[in-house]
């Protein structure tokens, strides 16, 4: 869930003034050269950085409306709207990361979570009884490779319950406020104080949902009322922010103080005041809340209530003794706060109480300054009516009029100030008038208002800049026209340059990127400036940090070649290359300046084919790629090699075709550029390049001169294949008109029809079928278009292709692994395709790969597909076997698909059928740890637990060998016979040996409780206790130590007991448990290849662990 943290510092909500003289510092630096060769965009009026955080006068929109609720989500969870009665986006809302799920999202959650949301206690009890973890929540993804005969298939299924945000089912129940379910979960072992990754407890959730009953249940079970989340917020903070009055009444008696603060220093009263919860404020005050408590920025509850406009809360706080003139660390008063956010009723109330209207903060700004900058015209009008000083300067000399002139929404504020006597020519300490401010920010309408009310047009700041200078600096054309029309001095930049020259300015001085004033003049095509700078001795061939000269910039920006021509006449060198190897011709070509190229051609024709250039792209490439056909025509007049390649081997024609510049393509073809030349990477031709993006006009031009429309790239793909793959209908139609081969295959054997069906482009496929394309053509894996249609679920195409295929004499519908279209349709769960195929008699009996379509359906949990097959063919198919002897029941058990198991068994599937390895479906499920399948097969299907595989392993052996404790316990619960408890496999290992070796504590306890023999020895002479050793050597050492500690003779009672124990062994192995057998190193035999354990007699048996 994406959560929005709202409890930001108050400085981010109400930094409503200029922090220091850096507010408009950049406006005093207009005499400095620009930092970029481009027009500067509008500049935000910004305060200086304080405490490493930016403070803006305008309160950001994202903080409006919900400033202090603990957290809230305006769009629910992962874009899913809130349900369960929680309003989306409300200030009172508390975004509970447990996940407010829609039906689609809820279906992906574990059964326990779904049951909690449905509010069904009985279902919850059943799930808990089935050992559903009450302290886990979530869903994940795991992937299992499925080896089917010789094919490798892929399965995607939900896996272990692991919530990335550490939320438990108790969090869910608390969020929903269901007291009964909370009680049930806690009594079932749920941790009442469990914390998610934000350290939020179920009590936080319950309080946020305003559920008094849930809170009482949690507290009854020792929920921590002082628990803090990562923002140090307690349940009381949450209650205050969410208007949970009843919950607060339950919690407060258990608290030592109601004034505990969160990480930002805010108390519950701050949260209640911000959100306007009058009842909560009353409650907190009645319980002893400190009314003048301040947070880490010295902001009081009154600041927050005033900012949000909660008049009743403001009045209540003041009536209870709140300081109406209180200030935070930066001097903001409640009046500043209310004015910044346009809370007119709060402003009136405070003014009626007699607060100082012109009170300044530490930066000298009054409430009128703040209101003007934030465009709060109604507040401005009210303050003026109450007598606020409209010409009050702040510490930097800026008046409210400066702020109104600069701000985004200050137009009406400016008119109010001007109409009420504000001085339109007042200047700040750095000499800026309000008209300068409109010039900086391009406030066209406001500049007219100022001029009409007597604003001085040619006033200068301390750096000698007039508003016209400033407007020109920032490129505000409308404002420039207004100033000139109003009589501003239009002395041009040349005069400024001459003034600087007479003052001894260095015209070769560089900026931080190595650019001189001449670079700037050339980049902006200021001819007179270039002329003046060159005349005064500026270095005409000076390079910047990128190796570019003024001539490079002129070639890139000069439309009429006037500047370029002047520079060339004054010995500018057009052959100089930048650091990427590009010269003046490259720049002129890239920007399509034909006249510049013609001028350069007149100066030096050889420049167009500069063999010394290290550039990876030629001027021809640059012009073609950018579609400058006129520039391209100039280049073509002087170039000999039109097929010159870039670093990837692409020609200009390839690039032009790829970008769809038909005029460039036509120009290149007319001059003889090759249409069949291939690049160095993909070996594509211009024909391929044009169809990739569907540029049919370019393709048509290329086909007119191409000899072969079926030219191939490095993968053997023709233009037709690419056109079909990308779904470019016009390109496909054009290629078919030019008789492109419809049956051509790439290196993998795929044709255009394969691609069309795979990508689903219907019209392209239809056009290919009309051309009688081969529908039985096979790719490198033997798959036909029918296989692709079945796999992708295109039933209509499959039906059409099938009719054509069945009319062929040689209709082979098996791929190289024997899979038919029916296999593929079943594996991918396309019921409509299965119905189409089953209409044909050919598919109403299984053929091809013995891993049948029914196997394919059940292994991917496509129950409906399996039902279709059984209904259309015969119920006997439920017992069909693949070449390893596995039935569909084995496949369903392997994949843990209980519904498919139910379906198969309902049609008389043999629950105890064994494969070639002797494994039953129960063994398959147990070995893979599928609890659901094991539970069903043991308790419902009554699978035979006495059966053994070829290595004499029972299902209990297999479950224990892989560490699947839950499966082992389910099986063990149904075993009472001592023969099964002490059953031995080929390695003479009992279930106790294996369970002990794998650390399955609960299984070992159950086995011992059922009388498992603790003195049984395996083929290496190890008892279950010795089987716990990590390897053979450790087991030997342990046996020696035990023999020394507890010696006994063969005639001892223990030996007699051991002998009696093994006389009951029905495996027919005779091993006496005497001292020599237990303690001798020589008692170890060479381990068999089918041992279940670890290395040297303990290796787990992997001979039957292969997957489908």
Q: What 3-state class would DSSP assign to 5?
A: strand
> Which are the contacts of 629, defined by CB distance < 8 A and separation ≥ 6?
623, 661, 663, 664, 667
Nearest CA-CA partner of 305 in 330, 333, 270, 348: 270
Determine the Cα–Cα distance for residues 954 and 934; give it in Å rounded to an integer: 13
Give Cα separations from 280 to 252, 348, 575 (angstroms).
12, 25, 78
What is d(CA 772, CA 766) in angstroms, rounded to the nearest whole number? 10
CA distance 786 to 769: 13
Identify the H or E element spanning 1057: helix 1053-1063
Report pLDDT for 163.
59
Residue 637: predicted pLDDT: 85
Position 245 scores a pLDDT of 95
Contacts of 899 (CB under 8 A, 6+ apart): 861, 863
Contacts of 683 by beta carbon, 8 Å cutoff, 6+ apart: 712, 713, 714
CA separation (Å) from 948 to 831, 917, 992, 1105?
37, 10, 16, 15
Is-contact 978 1011, C-beta < 8 A?
A: yes
300 forms bridges with which residues in the sheet? Answer: 294
| Contact (Cβ atoms closer than 8 angstroms) between residue 831 and residue 864 | yes
Provide the pLDDT for residue 738.
Answer: 92
Q: Alpha-carbon distance 15 to 617, whole Å?
A: 52
Q: Residue 496 has what pLDDT?
A: 54
Burial group, residue 976, by CB count within 10 angstroms (0-12, 13-18, 19+): exposed
* 362-366, Cβ contacts within 8 angstroms, sequence gap of 24 or more: 362/330, 362/331, 363/17, 363/18, 363/19, 363/20, 363/330, 363/331, 363/394, 363/395, 363/396, 364/17, 364/393, 364/394, 364/395, 364/396, 365/16, 365/17, 365/18, 365/336, 365/394, 366/392, 366/394, 366/400
Residue 193 vs residues 170, 199, 230: alpha-carbon distances, Å = 9, 10, 15
- Report the pLDDT value the prediction gives residue 13, as an integer from 0 to 100: 32
DSSP type of residue 59: P
User: pLDDT value at position 114?
Assistant: 82
> CA–CA distance from 890 to each of 653, 833, 871, 887 (Å)?
60, 25, 20, 5
Q: Please tell me the predicted confidence (pLDDT) of residue 430.
A: 92
Which one is the CATH code of 492-615: 1.20.1250.20, 1.25.40.20, 3.10.580.10, 3.30.365.10?
A: 1.25.40.20
The mean pLDDT values, 10 residues at a time, for the chain of 1108 residues are 31 31 30 28 29 29 29 30 28 33 62 83 79 55 27 28 72 91 89 91 94 94 93 95 95 93 94 95 94 93 96 95 93 96 95 94 95 95 95 95 93 94 93 92 88 88 81 72 70 52 70 87 85 88 94 92 92 92 93 92 71 80 95 86 91 95 95 92 95 95 93 96 96 94 95 94 93 91 94 92 81 89 95 92 88 95 94 92 95 95 95 96 96 95 95 95 94 92 94 92 93 91 87 81 64 34 33 32 28 34 36
- Domain-by-domain residue ranges, the chain? 492-615
Q: Could you give the CA distance from residue 170 to residue 187 in angstroms, rounded to a whole number?
A: 11
- Name the CA radius of gyration of the chain, rounded: 42
Q: Which of 760, 775, 683 is nearest to 725 (CA)?
A: 760
Q: Across-strand partners of 144? A: 155
CA–CA gap between residue 725 and residue 692 (Å, rounded) = 9
**Whole-number Å distance between alpha carbons of 156 and 999:** 30
Residue 157: alpha-carbon gap to chain centroid: 21
């Amino acid at each position: 869930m994406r959560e929005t943290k709202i409890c930001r510092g108050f400085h981010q909500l109400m930094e409503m003034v200029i922090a220091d003289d850096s507010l408009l510092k950049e406006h005093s630096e207009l005499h400095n050269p620009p930092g970029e060769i481009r027009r500067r965009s509008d500049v935000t009026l910004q305060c200086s950085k304080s405490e490493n955080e930016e403070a803006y006068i305008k309160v950001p929109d994202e903080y409006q409306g919900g400033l202090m609720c603990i957290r809230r989500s305006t769009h629910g969870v992962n874009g899913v709207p809130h349900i369960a009665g929680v309003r989306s986006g409300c200030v009172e809302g508390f975004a509970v990361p447990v996940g407010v799920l829609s039906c689609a999202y809820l279906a992906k959650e574990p059964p326990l979570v779904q049951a909690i949301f449905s509010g069904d206690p009985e279902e919850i009890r059943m799930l808990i009884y089935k050992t559903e973890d009450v302290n886990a929540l979530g869903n994940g993804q795991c992937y299992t490779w499925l080896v089917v005969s010789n094919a490798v298939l892929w399965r995607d299924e939900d896996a272990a319950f692991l919530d990335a945000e550490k939320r438990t089912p108790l969090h869910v129940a608390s969020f929903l406020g269901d007291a009964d379910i909370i009680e049930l979960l806690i009594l079932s072992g749920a941790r009442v104080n469990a914390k998610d990754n934000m350290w939020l407890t179920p009590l936080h959730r319950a309080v946020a949902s305003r559920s008094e009953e849930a809170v009482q249940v949690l507290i009854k079970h020792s929920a921590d009322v002082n628990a803090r989340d990562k923002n140090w917020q307690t349940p009381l903070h949450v209650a205050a922010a969410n208007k949970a009055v009843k919950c607060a009444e339950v919690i407060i008696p258990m608290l030592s103080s109601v004034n505990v603060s969160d990480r930002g220093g805010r108390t519950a009263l701050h949260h209640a005041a911000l959100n306007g919860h009058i009842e909560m404020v009353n409650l907190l005050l009645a319980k002893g809340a400190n009314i003048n408590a301040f947070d880490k920025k010295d902001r009081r509850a009154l600041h927050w209530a005033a900012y949000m406009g909660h008049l009743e809360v403001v009045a209540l706080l003041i009536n209870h003794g709140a300081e109406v003139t209180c200030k935070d660390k930066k001097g903001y008063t409640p009046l500043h706060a209310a004015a910044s956010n346009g809370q007119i009723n709060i402003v009136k109330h405070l003014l009626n109480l007699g607060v100082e209207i012109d009170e300044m903060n530490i930066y000298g700004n009054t409430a009128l300054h703040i209101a003007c900058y934030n465009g709060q015209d109604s507040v401005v009008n009210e303050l003026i009516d109450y007598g606020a000083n409209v010409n009050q300067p702040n510490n930097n000399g800026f008046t409210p009029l400066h702020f109104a002139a600069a701000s985004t929404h200050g137009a009406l504020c400016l008119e109010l100030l001007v109409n009420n006597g504000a001085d339109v020519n007042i200047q700040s300490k750095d000499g800026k008038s309000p008209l300068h401010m409109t010039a900086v920010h391009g406030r066209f309408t406001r500049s007219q208002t100022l001029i009409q009310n007597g604003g001085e047009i040619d006033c200068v700041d301390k750096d000698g800049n007039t508003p016209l200078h400033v407007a020109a600096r920032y490129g505000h054309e409308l404002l420039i026209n207004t100033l000139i029309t109003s009589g501003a001095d239009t002395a041009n930049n040349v005069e400024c340059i001459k003034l600087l020259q007479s003052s001894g300015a260095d015209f070769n001085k560089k900026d931080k990127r190595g650019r001189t004033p001449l670079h700037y003049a050339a980049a902006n095509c200021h001819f007179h400036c270039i002329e003046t700078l060159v005349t005064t001795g500026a270095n005409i061939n000076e390079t910047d940090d990128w190796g570019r000269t003024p001539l490079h910039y002129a070639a890139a920006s000069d439309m009429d070649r006037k500047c370029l021509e002047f520079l060339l006449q004054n010995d500018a060198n057009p052959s100089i290359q930048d650091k990427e190897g590009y010269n003046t011709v490259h720049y002129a070509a890239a920007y399509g300046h034909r006249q510049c190229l013609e001028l350069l051609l007149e100066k030096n024709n050889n420049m167009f084919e500069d063999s010394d250039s290290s550039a990876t792209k030629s001027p021809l490439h640059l012009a073609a790629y950018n579609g400058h056909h006129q520039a391209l025509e100039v280049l073509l007049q002087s170039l000999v090699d039109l097929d010159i390649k870039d670093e990837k081997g692409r020609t200009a024609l390839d690039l032009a075709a790829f970008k769809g510049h038909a005029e460039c393509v036509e120009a290149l073809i007319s001059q003889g550029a090759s249409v069949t030349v291939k690049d160095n990477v993909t070996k594509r031709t211009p024909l391929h390049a044009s169809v990739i993006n569907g540029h049919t006009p370019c393709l048509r031009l290329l086909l007119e001169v191409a000899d072969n429309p079926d030219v191939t790239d490095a993968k053997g793909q023709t233009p037709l294949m690419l056109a079909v793959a990308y779904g470019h209908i016009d390109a496909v139609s054009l290629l078919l008109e030019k008789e492109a081969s419809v049956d051509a295959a790439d290196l993998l054997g795929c044709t255009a029809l394969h691609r069309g069906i795979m990508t689903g482009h219907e019209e392209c496929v239809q056009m290919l079928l009309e051309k009688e394309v081969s529908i039985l053509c096979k790719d490198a894996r033997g798959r036909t278009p029918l296989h692709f249609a079945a796999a992708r679920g295109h039933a209509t195409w499959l039906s059409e292709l099938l009719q054509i295929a069945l009319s062929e004499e040689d209709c082979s519908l098996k791929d190289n692994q024997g899979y038919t279209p029916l296999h593929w349709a079943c594996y991918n769960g396309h019921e409509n395709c299965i119905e189409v195929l089953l209409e044909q008699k050919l598919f109403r009996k299984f053929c091809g790969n013995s891993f049948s379509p029914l196997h394919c359906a059940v292994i991917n949990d496509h129950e409906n597909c399996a039902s279709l097959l059984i209904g259309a063919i015969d119920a006997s198919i439920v017992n069909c076997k693949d070449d390893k002897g596995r039935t569909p029941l084995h496949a369903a058990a392997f994949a843990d698909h209980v519904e498919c198991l139910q379906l198969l068994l309902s049609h008389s599937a043999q629950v105890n059928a064994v494969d070639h390895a002797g494994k039953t479906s129960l063994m398959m499920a147990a070995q893979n740890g599928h609890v659901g399948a094991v539970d069903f097969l043991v308790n419902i299907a009554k699978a035979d637990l006495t059966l053994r595989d070829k290595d004499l392993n029972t299902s209990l052996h297999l479950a224990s060998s892989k560490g699947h404790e839950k499966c082992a316990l389910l099986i063990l619960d149904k075993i009472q016979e001592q023969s099964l408890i002490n059953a031995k496999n080929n390695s003479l290992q009992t279930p106790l040996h294996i369970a002990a070796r794998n650390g399955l504590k609960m299984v070992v306890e159950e086995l011992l409780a059922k009388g498992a023999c603790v003195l049984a020895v395996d083929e290496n002479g190890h008892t279950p206790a010795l089987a716990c050793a990590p390897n053979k050597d450790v087991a030997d050492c342990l046996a020696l130590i035990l023999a020394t500690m507890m010696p006994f003779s063969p005639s001892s009672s223990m030996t007699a007991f051991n002998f009696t124990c093994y006389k009951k062994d029905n495996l027919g192995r005779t091993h006496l448990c005497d001292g020599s057998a237990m303690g001798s190193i020589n008692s170890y035999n060479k381990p068999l290849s089918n041992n279940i354990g670890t290395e040297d007699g303990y290796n787990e048996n992997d001979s039957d662990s292969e997957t489908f």
